[in-house]
Structures are given as structure tokens and as C-alpha cells.
Structure 1
Amino acid sequence: MNPPSYDKQFLRDWLETAQVSGKPWSKTPPAPHLPREVIEKTAAKYHEALTRLTT
């Protein structure tokens, strides 16, 4: 059985397609604004990890 994954590849994937001022993000400041969905999904991953570590 594989251990649970806490990988945030979905965040990395989103950043690869993100745009700043209508152009692909060059991975330099300013960073693109994260959509609420990406923030919530990332927070849920960290919350799940914390719960597993502390219960």
C-alpha cells in the first residue's frame, strides 16, 4: 500500500499555465494572483497533513 500523497503538483501545474499581464508568467516577481480554488485546495492538503500528524 502506498502512503498518502501530500504533493501539490496541481499548484505547480497551475503556475505553468498562469499569466501575468496577458503573458505567460516568467517565474519572476510579481507572481500571478492565485484563484480561490487553488488556495483552498492547497490549504486542504496542508490541513490533511497536519491532521494526520497530530491525531
Structure 2
Amino acid sequence: MSAGEKAKAKAEQVVGRAVRKAAHAMGKETTAAKGAALETRGRARETKENSKHGFRR
């Protein structure tokens, strides 16, 4: 996994989690769903990179 992709995946997860929690606390469910989607996209990116790493060995 390249360092740039790993950082991008973690950043999406952290930002998504922060947006989701903040929006949920303020009662904005649509924004909370967008934050959850961003967090999920970060997890998917991380999973993709980890699977690519597994094939190289």
C-alpha cells in the first residue's frame, strides 16, 4: 500500500467519522449520512489497497 493512498484512506475515515458525529449531535441526519458514506469510502479504499498488497507476496 502506498503511503499516499494509506493516508488518503485514513483521512477519509477520520473526516467522515467527525462529520457524522457532529451532524448527528446537531440533528442533521442528511449530513450525518454523507459523513457515514465518506467513512465507508475510506474503509473501502483501505480494503482495496490491502488486497492489492496481498497479491504481491
- Normalised-by-shorter TM-score class: 0.3 to 0.5
Bigger RCO of structures 1 and 2 (CA < 8 A, at least 6 apart): 2
Greater percentage in helix = 2
TM-score (norm. length: structure 2): 0.46
Structure possessing the higher radius of gyration over alpha carbons: 1
TM-score (norm. length: structure 1): 0.46
